Amino acid sequence: MHLTQENFQMAVHEWYDPLYRFALSLCQQHDRALDLTQNAFHRLAQNRAKIRDASKVKSWLFSVLYREYVDQYRHSVRYPSQSLDDSPEFRGTTDHGGEQSHDAKVLIRILGELDEIFRAPITLFYIEQLSYKEIAGVLDIPIGTVMSRLRRAKDQLRERMEQVSQPKIVPFPQEARHG
pLDDT per position as a tens digit, 80-137: 654 434 434 333 334 444 444 566 777 778 888 888 899 999 989 988 888 999 999 9
Question: Domain 1-81 belongs to what architecture?
Answer: Orthogonal Bundle (1.10)
Question: Domain 100-166 belongs to what architecture?
Answer: Orthogonal Bundle (1.10)
Q: H/E/C letters for each residue in the chain?
A: CCCCHHHHHHHHHHHHHHHHHHHHHHHCCHHHHHHHHHHHHHHHHHCHHHCCCHHHHHHHHHHHHHHHHHHHHHHHHHCCCCCHHHCCCCCCCCCCCCCCCHHHHHHHHHHHHCCHHHHHHHHHHHHCCCCHHHHHHHHCCCHHHHHHHHHHHHHHHHHHHHHHHCCCCCCCCCCCCCC
pLDDT per position as a tens digit, 10-48: 999 999 999 999 999 998 889 999 999 999 999 999 988
Residue 147 or residue 80, greater confidence: 147
Annotated domain spans of the chain: 1-81, 100-166
Q: Given a cut of 50, is residue 173 above it in pLDDT?
A: yes
